[in-house]
Homo-oligomer: A and B are copies of this chain.
Amino acid sequence: MYKINDNYLKLPGSYLFSTIGKKVAAYSAEHPEKEIIRLGIGDVTQPLAPAIIEALHKAVDEMGHAETFHGYAPDLGYEFLRKAIAEHDFQARGADIQADEIFVSDGAKCDAGNIQEIFSTDNKIAVCDPVYPVYVDTNVMAGRTGTYDPKTETWSDVIYMPCTAENGFAPELPKETPDLIYLCFPNNPTGSTITKAQLQEWVDYANQVGAVIIYDAAYEAYISEPDVPHTIYECEGARTCAIELRSFSKNAGFTGVRLGCTVIPKDLKCGEVSLHALWARRHGTKYNGAPYIVQRAGEAVYSPEGQAQLKAQVAYYMNNAKTILEGLKSAGYTVSGGVNAPYIWLKTPEGMDSWAFFDYLLENAGVVGTPGSGFGPSGEGYFRLTAFGSYENTVAALERIQKL
């Protein structure tokens, strides 16, 4: 008789955003008259930029003629896209990353979930707390996390690095030495960042202890302050210790288009074994490339028109962030984030836990946010709002919250 992977059974509850979706659907079914404003899941609402729409149409037309039809894409992505990424996202910032160190994928969530596969199940992971649930959950599924303690909501074999108001939401180097360190800056969910000097400390630490940093840069387009690194490869030594995950979801609104990439420098080696080669093998064996039309859309993100249009789109969302930040402050909330990130992190009112505040906000203001505790134990007592709504809805949501 076959057996299942019982690591799956260790996972408590369902995936955070599935739970929220079900809760909101149930509430809507009971109160069909209530207009709900969703500032929960980090999904964009602005349409694709004209340059991207044009590129998509053009690529679709190519697929309709035998002479310009494209079948299987190259395993690791089309050269035109990998080159554009290498030049604009790395080389233009002085980061030494070449096109052949970039693996094009269908999004950072998949990459964030799959990257752990090339590492031993004996490795110990370190995560910020609170954190994007995918990092821990996918390691649970792989059997890398030990046992779950429902009281503390933590796993026995995971190193948690609390990010709280006390440390400015910046993790401190862990006491216990980890093998894999997940970092995400600008941070999801807290919206905080660290400086280049702070990130350099992490790179030095990883190189010193022999750890790999998995650096999630999905929100780098929202950085507005100088001295905040846009890629970990701005730091010296990152080529020997860091993998970077990047996404087109938030800088270009591709949440429903699906495109991302993983960067693995060829200098990143475990003894003689190149992690680049391992990931290439995974790509070649388990993946068949992102759609041609989507890779052409990705290329358009880097055209002068695309760049200008997307700069305006990011500015639109960051204006929402400002609206939320100022609206919450004037309503007396303690808030952070929202300056270099599309996420605003607020302290729930006295005595209310994160899920209680979720229900309170849904029932009294018809506003959906994300409970901080869903991101880890140190998220308890916090709540995340996103700037990805429309401006009108964002203003309306804040008016409702201020009236409470």
Contacts and interface: CB of A to CB of B under 8 A. Distances in A.
A119 B4 contact: yes
A367 interface: no
A2 B66 CA distance: 48
A256 B73 contact: yes
A41 interface: yes
A118 interface: yes
Contacts of A138: 285-286
A119 B1 CA distance: 12
Interface stretch (A7-15, A28-36, A85-93, A95-103): A7-15
A118 B286 contact: no
Given A43-B71, A56-B63, A113 B286 contact: yes
Contact of A256 (B72, B117, B180, B284): B72
A257 interface: yes
Which one of A18, A57, A71 has the greatest number of beta carbons of chain B within 10 Å?
A71
Contacts of A286: 109-110, 113-114, 134, 138, 141
Nearest to A44: B71
A122 B17 CA distance: 32
A403 interface: no
Interface in A40-73: 41, 43-48, 50, 53, 56-57, 60-61, 63-66, 69-73
A290 interface: yes
Nearest to A106: B106
Interface stretch (A157-165, A191-199, A270-278, A324-332): A270-278
A101 B210 CA distance: 44
A154 interface: no
A137 B285 contact: yes
A107 B137 contact: no
Q: Considering residues A41, A118, A278, A286, which has the most beta carbons from chain B within 10 angstroms of its beta carbon?
A: A286
A118 B284 contact: no
B118 A8 contact: yes
B294 A291 contact: yes
A266 to B, nearest CB: 15
Given A43-B71, A66-B45, A3 B123 contact: yes
Contact of A47 (B9, B15, B64, B137): B64
A159 to B, nearest CB: 13
Given A117-B141, A180-B2, A210-B2, A14 B284 contact: yes
Contacts of A209: 1
Contact of A71 (B71, B133, B255): B255
A246 interface: no
A113 B255 CA distance: 24
Given A47-B69, A110-B288, A141-B286, 11 more contacts: A1-B210, A1-B211, A1-B270, A47-B65, A53-B60, A53-B63, A56-B63, A63-B256, A71-B253, A134-B285, A257-B291
Interface of A: 1-6, 8-9, 11, 14-15, 17-18, 41, 43-48, 50, 53, 56-57, 60-61, 63-66, 69-73, 75, 106-107, 109-110, 113-114, 117-123, 133-134, 137-138, 141, 179-180, 209-212, 253, 255-258, 270, 273, 275, 278, 281-282, 284-294, 390
